[in-house]
Amino acid sequence: MSETALAQLDGADVIVGMVIDGLSSEHSKRAYRRSLRDFMAWYKATGQAALTKATVARYAAELAAAGLSAASINQRLSAIRKLAREAADNGALPEQIANAISRVKGVRHEGTKTGTWLTRDQAQELLDLPEPSTVKGLRDRAILAVLLGCGLRREEAARLTFEHIRQLEARWVIVDLVGKRNKTRSVPMPSWTKAAIDAWADAAGVHSAVVFHAVNKGGRVVSDCMTAQAIRDVVDGYARRLGLDIAPHDLRRTFAKLAYKGGAGLDQIQLSLGHGSIQTTERYLGVRQDLTDAPCDHLGLRLS
């Protein structure tokens, strides 16, 4: 496929498919697919002659003029850069043009984004909402307990297995959890989170492989594993009952904030969260994760 053919979008779906297939996160796949679909629609509607650095820069400028946030624009640019890189690797775009597109600057973030955190009372109220007399309620309570008690991302909660959960140094720990960018970490688990998982597991009759499964309308556990989007839907449903507009990542933030307010060390919170800079922090400070006095011990939450 030549550069001209790419400009006319002949066969571009093949390249887009390669871009999407190269992503591991379902969330990223959806976002990149949407971003590339929008870019290609703009490309055709505006009669662009070729895919160049100037074309991509013009698109970014129009997005900014339309009022899109810096984060949204930068995410779309990331998708387009990956498209150009994949096209070059497959001979559909000259290497020098792909390299030029990779140098298109993103939009600078101005100011500091304010996250959403729950107070301890709000977090406790959210945790108490699921009905423990039903299988679905027990599952949902366990999901909220994992997000609030361990600070997991929704993708990590969806992939959590019983084999991850082990006892180390007289406490429960999620061992060798593979998170963002394939980084592995271990996360201490509070006893009330383990109790919530056990209650769900006993009611559902599942004690191996993936922890969280779908529950049909009849209250029967099915073999389908929950997706990250399903985890988000669970959080959204209970949050709306409290009049809150939050996502699973806000429960991760809440975990960190409640732990910090409870007296947990910042370095230990970073270890539990597995932030990208934690390896540097560990080397610089010689920090070792404290499994005796862990962040999750300072949240002040419990099962009713």
Say whether both 91 and 128 belong to one domain: no
**3-state SS record for 170-193:** CEEEEEEEECHHHCEEEEEECHHH
Say whether both 149 and 289 belong to one domain: yes
Q: Is residue 243 part of a domain?
A: yes
Q: Is residue 304 part of a domain?
A: no
Q: How far apart are CA 8 and CA 164, in angstroms?
A: 49
Say whether both 94 and 142 belong to one domain: no
Q: What Cα–Cα distance (Å) separates residue 245 from each residue in 121, 123, 154, 242, 250?
A: 16, 13, 16, 9, 10
Q: Is residue 303 part of a domain?
A: no
Confidence check: pLDDT of 270 > 90: no
Last residue of a domain, one of 102, 133, 166: 102
> Which CATH number fits the domain that encloses residue 215?
1.10.443.10
Strand-pairing partners, residue 165, are: 174
pLDDT in tens, 21-34: 777 667 778 888 88
Say whether both 130 and 231 belong to one domain: yes
pLDDT in tens, 198-239: 999 999 999 989 999 999 888 889 877 899 999 999 999 999
Q: Is residue 153 part of a domain?
A: yes
Contact criterion met (CB below 8 Å) for 196 and 157: no
Say whether both 95 and 194 belong to one domain: no
Between β-strands 171-178 and 184-189, what pairing exists: parallel, antiparallel or unpaired? antiparallel
In total, the chain counts a number of residues equal to 304
Contact criterion met (CB below 8 Å) for 192 and 186: no
Confidence of residue 187 (pLDDT cuts 50, 70, 90): very high
Q: Is residue 55 part of a domain?
A: yes
DSSP string, 120-175: HHHHHHHHH-S-TTSHHHHHHHHHHHHHHHH---HHHHHH-BGGGEEEETTEEEEE
Confidence of residue 109 (pLDDT cuts 50, 70, 90): low
Say whether both 41 and 76 belong to one domain: yes
Say whether both 150 and 74 belong to one domain: no
Structural domain for 237, as ranges: 120-298
Last residue of a domain, one of 57, 73, 102: 102
φ, ψ of residue 120 in degrees (nearest 5): -60, -40
Q: Tokens in use for 70?
A: 């810096």
* Spatial CB neighbours of 212, under 8 Å, sequence gap ≥ 6: 139, 142, 143, 157, 158, 160, 225, 226, 231
Give the number of domains in the chain: 2
Say whether both 257 and 287 belong to one domain: yes
The vertex-77 CA angle with 72 and 82, nearest 5°, equals 130
Residue with tokens 């999750």: 296
Q: How far apart are CA 251 and CA 10, in angstroms?
A: 44
Q: 155 or 285: whose pLDDT is higher? A: 155
> Which CATH number fits the domain that encloses residue 69?
1.10.150.130
Last residue of a domain, one of 102, 131, 166: 102
Q: How far apart are CA 76 and CA 158, in angstroms?
A: 26
Q: Is residue 108 part of a domain?
A: no
Confidence check: pLDDT of 87 > 70: yes
Q: What's at 114, amino acid-wise? A: T
Spatial CA neighbour of 250 closest among 241, 259, 239: 239
Say whether both 11 and 154 belong to one domain: no
Say whether both 283 and 148 belong to one domain: yes
Q: Is residue 268 part of a domain?
A: yes
Q: 142 or 304: whose pLDDT is higher? A: 142
Say whether both 22 and 134 belong to one domain: no
26-35, 39-48, 160-169, 199-208: which range is least confident on average?
26-35
Confidence check: pLDDT of 7 > 70: no
Q: What Cα–Cα distance (Å) separates residue 13 from each residue in 28, 57, 140, 166?
A: 17, 22, 38, 45
Q: Is residue 111 part of a domain?
A: no
Q: What is the pLDDT of residue 69?
A: 79
Say whether both 92 and 131 belong to one domain: no
Instruction: Give mean pLDDT, residues 56-79.
Output: 87
